[in-house]
Amino acid sequence: MEKETLARLKKEKDAVILAHYYVDGAVQEIADHVGDSFTLAKIATGIDAKVIVMAGVEFMGETVKILNPEKTVYLPDPDADCPMAHMVDVEAIKEMREKYDDLAVVSYVNSTAEVKAHSDYCLTSSNAAKVVSAIDAKNIFFIPDGNLGHNTEGAFPDKHFINNNGCCPVHDSLTADMVRALKKEHPDAAVFCHPECKAEVLELADYTGSTKGILSAVGELNKDKNIILTEEGIGWELNRLYPDKEFIFPDMICAGMKMVTVDKIIHVLETGDNEVLLDADLIEKAKVPLDRMLAIASK
């Protein structure tokens, strides 16, 4: 019944549903496109539909709206949020610009529209190294995720990273001892890790990369058992791609992502509630670093 209702509403409203890998599997199943932040950003720039439902957290809805100012964008739940996105503010950016002349403000896509509007470049965990390699500035103010900044800077000894004191609470909660315990319990398993984790955790992984990267790497390493060190929502796609493999997750759940449900998607399409609305000037300024990211990543 839900699928029939969605099919009718999508046709009536000329709508497309985008979903992040971390939302519930039932939402991923009904989405038109599922991906990580970078994949969804790319897809969003080429959608013909008039309406886009972003099944994810607030910054994702903002990003889709910034890239599609002429389209109607809905968030299934306006309270679904990413704590990391609020761990830096514009004042911190202004302070760094005053302190360093040769500075590039590099904002992880997990950031507010306002922060993006005051940034020079955006990036995701999929393209962080590629974006930084295209920046001429000596000093990099990496916001808001300090872990991703720290885990990226090692490849750039010629640059000076100032990593913001922010993090994804879900990934940052994972410790090396927790991973060692999992490895001891499953000695034959390969370990896959997201770079939002602490450096001490990455050191224990066989592969580190974005959610999309992890999905590919599982097939490339081709182990029967796999320890996945990221939000458990990715398990839906992993099990779909590799039904014969076993996946072990620590307790890593993003509360914001799990607020998104199929019922809420139907609700916004029926009622027009929870539209993402941003000031035109803010959109214009926030689009600049996103466009730079997309241009660099496409090369």
pLDDT in tens, 23-57: 999 999 999 999 998 899 889 889 999 999 999 99
Question: 215: domain range?
Answer: 174-251
The domain that contains 189 carries what CATH number?
3.40.50.10800
User: What is the pLDDT averaged over residues 131-136?
Assistant: 98
- % residues pLDDT > 70 (the chain): 100
Over 90: is that where the pLDDT of 65 sits? yes
Same domain (yes/no): 98, 71: no
* CB 170 within 8 Å of CB 231: yes
pTM over 0.85: yes
| For residues 88-102, average pLDDT | 97
In this prediction, residue 38 carries a pLDDT of 84
Give pLDDT, residue 215. Answer: 98
Q: What is the pLDDT of residue 98?
A: 98
pLDDT of residue 179: 98
Give yes or no for residue 2 having a pLDDT over 90: no
Same domain, 159 and 30: no
User: Do 65 and 35 share a structural domain?
Assistant: yes
Note whether 96 and 223 are same-domain residues: no
Sheet order of strands, 72-74 included? 33-35, 15-20, 51-55, 72-74
Q: How many independent structural domains does the chain possess?
A: 3
Look-up of token digits 């500075």: 103
Q: What pLDDT digit, counting tens, does each position of 184-202 carry? A: 999 999 999 999 999 999 9
> Are residue 157 and residue 289 in the same domain, yes or no?
yes
For the chain, what is the mean pLDDT? 97
Query: pLDDT at residue 1 above 80?
Result: no
